[in-house]
Structure 1
Amino acid sequence: MEISSDSEEERSVTPTKKRKLHYEQKYSHLWEKDQKFSGWVKKSNKGDYYFYCESFKCDLKCGEGKRVLKKHAESIKHKSIVKAAVRQPTLTSMLPKSSSKSFTDKIKSGEIKMACFLAKHNLPFSLADDLEDLIESVVPESKLASKFTFGRTKAHAIVTNVTGKVAENQLIKILQQNKFSLIVDKSTDRSSTKHLALIDFDVEDSFLFLMPVVDGIATSLHNACKTFFEEKNIPYKDNMVRFAADGTNSMFGHHPLSTLFQKDILNLFLIKCVCHYFHLCASYACKKLP
Structure 2
Amino acid sequence: MAAKRSFRDAWLNNEDFQHWLSRVEDNPSTAFCKICKREVSAELTAIKRHKTTKIHSVYEASEQQEVQQERIPVHHGNYAANGVAIATILFACFIAEHNLPFTTADHLVDLMKRMFPDSAIAQGMNMKRTKSTEVVRTLGRCVTED
TM-score with structure 2 setting the length = 0.45
Tell which has more relative contact order, 1 or 2 (C-alpha 8 A, sep 6+): 2
Q: Which has the higher strand share?
A: 1
